[in-house]
């Protein structure tokens, strides 16, 4: 029987990462229960989040009392203490929480979290570090990689493609990428049509393999 918490999310550990997750979920309209064992941390965020409680989340009994068994999704955002993070994930798995998200700080930590019952393991320092490195060395303004070899990127419109309807340029034959959307200066992103004419300052959304998208970005 789905209870009222079914659609809520509990976040355990309110360091920088846990706080940003909690705050973003709240901004998205989700009801967040935030848990931290440190009373000063609880105090600090109590007027910014609707529900912040103090508890040691390695303690199954405490989790039960907080009603964590009713939550469909729980995020374990503890990073520095691998032991605490693993014990909390284990406790949540034993309570039967359907969807456990856990933060890892190393590859080995990720493997252990997976082994004790985490359904999704995220590695924010590695993911953000890798992402920033890509943005520094490439000309992409933003990008998402899917699987091994597919990417969508935001890039400036290369000069060679400006001034003519893009339907006349055969972009995908020449460059391998598909231009999905374009943002003309001062406007919003729109899907492109063969009639779209790019101008200086246009920004594009392109998709293709990672190397095609990178090569296309290099032309700008
Ligand atoms: P960040 O990098 O996100 O700032 P951090 O690595 O500096 O985090 P952590 O040690 O990961 O800090 O702790 C994050 C929060 O988790 C802290 O506020 C800490 O009090 C809390 N925490 C640690 N262990 C437990 C536990 N067993 N139960 C509840 N909260 C915990
Ligand atoms: P992370 O969250 O990425 O693990 P952190 O918050 O734990 O980082 P920081 O205090 O940000 O750690 O320090 C990151 C690194 O930067 C450390 O190795 C530190 O020695 C180094 N560092 C700090 N200050 C300076 C400085 N003034 N010059 C050069 N290196 C520095």
What's the mean per-residue pLDDT of the chain?
A: 93
| Structure-token pair, residue 127 | 């993911």
**Ligand 1 atom with least separation from CA of 78:** 11
1 — pLDDT class (breaks 50, 70, 90): very low
Q: Are 184 and 199 in contact (CB under 8 A)?
A: yes
Domains of the chain: 9-127 (3.40.50.720), 138-218 (3.30.70.1450)
37 Cβ inside 6 Å of ligand 1: yes
Check pocket membership of 10 for ligand 1, CB cut-off 6 A: no
Tokens 């400006």 found at: 162
Residue 102 near residue 118 (C-beta atoms within 8 A): yes
Ligand 1 close to Cβ of residue 84 (< 6 A):
yes
- pLDDT > 90? residue 150: yes
Confidence category of residue 38, pLDDT binned at 50, 70, 90? very high
Report which of 159, 166, 157 is spatially closest to residue 195, judged by C-alpha positions. 166
Mean pLDDT across the stretch 24-53?
A: 95
Structure pTM?
0.85
Q: In the predicted model, what is the mean pLDDT of residues 81-95? A: 97
Is pLDDT above 80 for 7? no
The reply to whether ligand 1 has any atom less than 6 angstroms from the CB of 41 is yes
Mean pLDDT of 33-60: 96
Average pLDDT score over residue span 163-181: 91
pLDDT bucket at 219, cuts 50 / 70 / 90? confident
Cα(37) to centroid(ligand 1), Å: 8
Please state the φ and ψ torsions of residue 135, each to the nearest 5 degrees: -65, -35
């Amino acid at each position: 029987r789905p209870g009222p918490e079914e659609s809520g999310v509990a976040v355990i550990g309110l360091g920088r990462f846990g706080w940003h997750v909690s705050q973003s979920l709240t901004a998205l309209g989700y009801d967040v229960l935030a848990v931290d064992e440190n009373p000063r941390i609880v105090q600090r965020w109590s007027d910014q989040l609707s529900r912040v409680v103090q508890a040691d989340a390695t303690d199954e009994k405490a989790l039960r009392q907080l009603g964590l068994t009713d939550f469909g999704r729980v995020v374990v955002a503890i990073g520095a203490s691998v032991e605490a993070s693993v014990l909390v994930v284990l406790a949540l798995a034993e309570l039967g929480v359907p969807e456990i998200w856990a933060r890892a700080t190393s590859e080995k930590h990720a493997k252990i979290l997976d082994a004790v019952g985490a359904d999704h393991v995220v590695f924010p320092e590695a993911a953000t570090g890798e992402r920033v490195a890509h943005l520094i060395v490439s000309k992409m303004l933003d990008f998402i990689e899917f699987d091994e070899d597919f990417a969508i990127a935001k890039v400036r419109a290369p000069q060679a493609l400006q001034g003519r309807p893009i339907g006349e340029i055969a972009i995908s034959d020449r460059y391998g990428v598909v231009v999905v959307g374009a943002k003309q200066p001062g406007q919003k992103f729109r899907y492109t049509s063969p009639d779209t004419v790019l101008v200086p300052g246009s920004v594009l959304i392109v998709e293709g393999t990672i190397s095609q998208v990178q090569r296309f970005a290099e032309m700008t």
